Amino acid sequence: MIIPRKGYVKAYFPMNDSFKQTMDHVQTLIKELETFSIDIGRAEMDYVEVDDEDWATAWKKYYHPVQITERMTIVPTWEDYEPGQDEMIIELDPGMAFGTGTIQQPFYPSEL
């Protein structure tokens, strides 16, 4: 039995003169996923305006420790985390452009 999964895409775009055009373009690209037999569901789009000064740190509240194997956890440097016995910690300060290490690809080498 295949269990359908709901997904979402979160992106940050500048609120400038081309914002509406950017949103329209993203919507078009999402709809094109159907040509690859990808169920896009409702394909709803929404946005929230974030002040520039808040943006510098606002994204951090969404990233917390992620256990990637039985003995390995990725921990953002700003989080307090007490590792368990024999647990290995990877401290990561991802920054806004780097990423958080929580996508599947970084997990593969950890299984070796």
Q: Report d(CA 86, CA 91) in Å as an integer.
A: 16
Give pLDDT < 70 ranges for the chain: 1-7, 52-56, 95-112
75/82 Cα distance (integer angstroms): 10
Q: Give the DSSP letter string of 81-94.
A: ----TT-EEEEE--
pLDDT of residue 9: 72
Element (H, E) at 66: strand 66-67
Residue 96 has a pLDDT of: 54
Residues 6+ apart with CB under 8 A from 111: 69
Which two three-digit tokens encode residue 8?
């979402």
